[in-house]
Amino acid sequence: MSELRSLGQNIWKKPLFRLLLAVACAAVAGITVAHAFIGSVSMVSGTSMIPTYEPGTWVYTAPISTPLERGDIVVIDDGNKDKECAIKRLVGLPGDVVHIKHGYVFINRKMLIEPYLPKRVYTFPTKLPGVFVLGNDQYFVLGDNRGGSADSRAYGPIDRKQIKRRIPVPEDSARAYFSPHILPAYEAILPPRPVHKLES
């Protein structure tokens, strides 16, 4: 035991060993900081963002340093324990009322035009009814592969804390915009909120 201690002290006294140890520690710290504050590269494994991202595509993900905007592509924790994260597109922002009707997405009764979707691709409700009222810290996300994406139509709005990173897109990328078409008021009626019976 004393021989091992003596050997360790002799190694520690060597400047080259201390230099290599310092370089290794700096490298680990640098990688950790870069991942948290600069960005990282990840591979797309699912099909929910086809055709924007095919499976096997490598994407750069960056920390969120500016306000989130409609149309941003983000990395989220969707609560699925089988996979690490999911990539989705932000469609609804805090305070919005999202209607999915007639194959289109309406935000606050205005039809959202999504030029990044292929022609004749429509959006329909899946597991939940097609009306969502977003809270002050909630977002509505959809995959671009509307027929093959598990998204807010299935699990509802997500909280801001579930949005982990953003995938930067080129400045000239197609962004969603509103058309002049407005959902008629009688079609935009919100479903009644459940009223819980009081115990007497």
Asked if residue 173 lies in contact with residue 52, where contact means CB atoms within 8 angstroms, the answer is: no
Q: Which residue has the tokens 């969120």?
A: 64
Angle at CA 103, nearest 5°, toward 121 and 90?
Answer: 75
Amino acid in position 134: L
Series of mean pLDDT values for 10-residue runs along the chain (200 residues): 52 53 42 46 90 93 94 91 85 97 96 94 93 96 95 95 93 90 88 59
134 by Cβ neighbours in 10 Å (0-12 / 13-18 / 19+) ranks as: buried
Angle at CA 25, nearest 5°, toward 21 and 26?
Answer: 115
pTM for this one?
0.76
Task: Report the pLDDT value the prediction gives residue 45, as an integer from 0 to 100.
Answer: 87
What are the sequence ranges of the domains in the chain?
2-38, 40-187
Class of domain 40-187: mainly beta
- Residues serving a catalytic function are 48, 88
Task: Report the pLDDT value the prediction gives residue 80, as an integer from 0 to 100.
Answer: 76
Asked if residue 185 lies in contact with residue 108, where contact means CB atoms within 8 angstroms, the answer is: no
Task: Report the pLDDT value the prediction gives residue 39, as an integer from 0 to 100.
Answer: 55
Task: Report the pLDDT value the prediction gives residue 140, as an integer from 0 to 100.
Answer: 98
26: three-class secondary structure by DSSP = helix
